[in-house]
Amino acid sequence: EDKYRTLVEQSLQGTWVIQDMRVVFCNQTFANMGGWTVDEVYSFSPEEVTNIIHPDDQKRVWGRFRERLEGKQLPLTNNQLRAFRKDGSIAWIEYDARRINFSGRPAMLISVLDITERREAEKALRESEQRYRQLAESAPEFIFIIDKEGKVRYVNSSGAREFGCDPDQMLGKSVMELFLPETAKRQWENIQKVIQSGQALLNSETKVIFPTREVWLNTSLVPLRAESSEVIQVLGIARDVTERK
């Protein structure tokens, strides 16, 4: 028991045990997450325990809490919640709750991780992606992303318009089936050069035959890498330079 307690006390996860809506155990990590002392957490009333959870999440979280306490086996889904810190600020928490016996009686062992920074980073990333998507969609250039198999993973509205369809209709289609054979072969060879070399291919001017018309394009292809630095996709930006020809 002493070894287990030491492990729990030194854990990076916050751990607390609730019995009869009172805290009967918590580790220092849990107290630190909320800005309390351990003694303050132990002194929480049942009402304070309830209200540590954001009002919008209470019905879901405490409803599942009661069901687990009754012995029901519930899948661990939607296991994120908002909780209040001592200073009134809100933290996003990822949790795992299990029924245990504590001093011979049913209780709930709850392990928690503060994922506030992760949520904020994910939100910032989504907003950034949305801004860049809006820029791409409003651009007159043809913007596209092709994967290593030669399939379309993204194309903006300007590019899809040349094929007489919506962008969603082009996703998953291969370069070889979108263009006439000669054009397709040339396009795919250039994309493969970028994938294999890892180097961008800039300002290549070629004549391209679309279903809608024949145009001259100035195209730049740029490698997109995974965290391992492997090139997994190619970003293309093509500008119509027909009038210049």
pLDDT (tens digit per residue) in 209-219: 888 789 999 99
Pairing state of beta strands 142-147 and 22-26?
unpaired
pLDDT band for 50, please (50, 70, 90 cuts): very high
Tokens of 10: 């030194």
Tokens of 29: 């990590």
Position 6 scores a pLDDT of 60
Nearest-angstrom CA–CA distance, 14 and 109: 11
Q: Which residues contact 111 (CB under 8 A, 6 or more apart)?
A: 13, 14, 15, 95, 96, 97
Q: Which residues contact 133 (CB under 8 A, 6 or more apart)?
A: none
Residue 52 per-residue DSSP state = T
Nearest-angstrom CA–CA distance, 134 and 161: 17
Helices and strands (DSSP H and E) totals, the chain = 10, 10
Each residue of 59-72: pLDDT tens digit? Answer: 999 999 999 998 88
